Amino acid sequence: EDLTILSKMKEELVKMGDDAVGLAGVQIGIARSLFIMKRSDGTVIECINPTIVSASRSVTRKAEGCLSLPNMVAMIARPKIITLSYFDIFGTQHTTEFRGLEAKIVAHEMDHLKGRMINYHMEIQMEKNERLSNERDYRINKAKQKRRKMAKLHKKWNRRK
């Protein structure tokens, strides 16, 4: 059954053209932990029950789109290197290190398997920006309060003279 599903997924990915580089089962209504992706050399691999073994702390932040949200592009930080453990269609387990664009595809498809889309990352960034903005406003207000207090002390000091 997985073989049939994966064959259909490959067909869909090919139909979508050059911009389509990955497709998770959940994107087309298949409630299984699997995805397919186009490698840099053009081959398509199937990743069944994938698990991220490791991901670099070093990230790259680039524009990213999604087939599920065709009119949305977001700047998303993704690990530069991801090591993934997965099974192929023959049941053989692989542990592969993906770099650059391939690592980005793996991270993106793994997000789908966790029920996340690119807007999830946008919401986190918006919350972070709001927090930073609030912290900046707090520091500005504190500085204003300090200046007012200093002005009052200065005024009081000048009255004594």
Nearest one of 29, 123, 28, 4 to 74, comparing CA atoms: 123
Sign, CA torsion 75/77/81/87: negative
Which one from 46, 64, 102, 109 is the annotated catalytic residue? Answer: 109
Distance CA 37, CA 90 (A): 17
Distance, CA of 121 to CA of 42 (rounded, Å)? 28
- 109 catalytic residue (yes or no): yes
Query: What CA–CA distance (Å, rounded) separates 70 from 73?
Result: 8
The tokens for 18 are: 């050059």
> Known catalytic residues?
109
